[in-house]
């Protein structure tokens, strides 16, 4: 029987305490991986508590997990994070660059450049810093997989969120270029682009019947995705079942990119 087997591998999920990251962490652990749940410290300690819950849930199901905090937009903090992973789990085989922020809705010219820069720092520079730290470890072992969580907005423009769309499009090209650089070293690099996924971050949309109906009409399958549907795709790409896949984007979007409005004519 063909199955996803990630035993004897260590995976880190950045933003692992959030809605999508929580599901990815759990699915990777269920597939046998030892999981590093990364989170960003906040003043109230909410993220630390959420990361602890993810770790506890994994351990309850018989898996191995640890939680570490770091600001991935800070290269020095990323270096410390990877030293902690080395000490805790002895290296890293799978890197899931999942952490990201949307930023604030604002048209260019009416926006705050500092906010724009912050989105790029987290959504583009963060994955770069993490990949840069991970690659020497993966080169030494002769294998590794880096999965960058982009978005359908690496393809689709989004009014008022130019920083987010630019970061995700940039991350897509970073994926391709990094895959080209590392393919002969046993390292695969793949993007996964989720569409509209039902997580706490977009609860304001899916909890309002009017906005939910509008969003559902933009999706060919007529519904939001579930976090686990993205997590299963991540586990597949991280596994040997996807051993010949690199330098591309897998969309998990319910058909958003096939333009359902054109189903009844142009």
- Identify whether 164 is a catalytic site residue: yes
Q: Which of 39, 164, 232, 244 is catalytic?
A: 164
Helix, strand, coil % in the chain, rounded to nearest 5: 50, 15, 35
- With tokens 């906010």, the residue in question is 115
Partners of residue 191 on adjacent β-strands = 148, 249
Best CA proximity match to 155, nearest among 69, 257, 23, 73: 257
Angstrom distances, CA of residue 33 to CA of 78, 86, 103, 133, 200: 21, 15, 32, 20, 26
Token digits of residue 199: 């997580």
Angstrom distances, CA of residue 23 to CA of 128, 142, 151, 198, 257: 23, 28, 17, 12, 24
Show which residues are catalytic. 164
């Amino acid at each position: 029987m063909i199955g996803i087997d990630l035993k004897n591998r260590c995976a880190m999920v950045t933003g692992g305490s959030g809605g999508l990251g929580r599901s990815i962490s759990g699915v990777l652990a269920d597939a046998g991986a030892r999981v590093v749940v990364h989170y960003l410290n906040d003043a109230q300690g909410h993220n630390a508590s959420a990361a602890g819950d993810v770790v506890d849930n994994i351990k309850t199901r018989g898996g191995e997990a640890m939680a570490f905090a770091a600001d991935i937009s800070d290269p020095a903090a990323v270096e410390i994070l990877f030293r902690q992973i080395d000490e805790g789990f002895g290296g890293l085989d799978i890197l899931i660059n999942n952490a990201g922020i949307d930023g604030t809705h604002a048209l260019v010219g009416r926006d705050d450049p500092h906010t724009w820069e912050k989105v790029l720092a987290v959504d583009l520079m963060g994955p770069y810093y993490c990949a840069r730290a991970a690659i020497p470890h993966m080169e030494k072992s002769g294998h590794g997989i880096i999965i960058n969580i982009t978005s359908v907005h690496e393809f689709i423009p989004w009014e008022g969120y130019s920083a987010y769309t630019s970061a995700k499009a940039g991350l897509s090209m970073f994926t391709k270029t990094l895959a080209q650089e590392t393919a002969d070293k046993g390292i695969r690099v793949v993007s996964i682009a989720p569409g509209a996924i039902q997580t706490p971050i977009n609860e304001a949309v899916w909890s309002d019947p009017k906005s939910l109906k509008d969003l559902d009409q933009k999706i060919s399958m007529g519904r939001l995705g579930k976090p686990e549907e993205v997590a299963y795709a991540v586990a597949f790409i991280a596994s040997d079942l996807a051993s010949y896949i690199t330098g591309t984007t897998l969309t998990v979007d319910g058909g958003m990119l096939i333009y359902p409005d054109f189903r009844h004519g142009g």
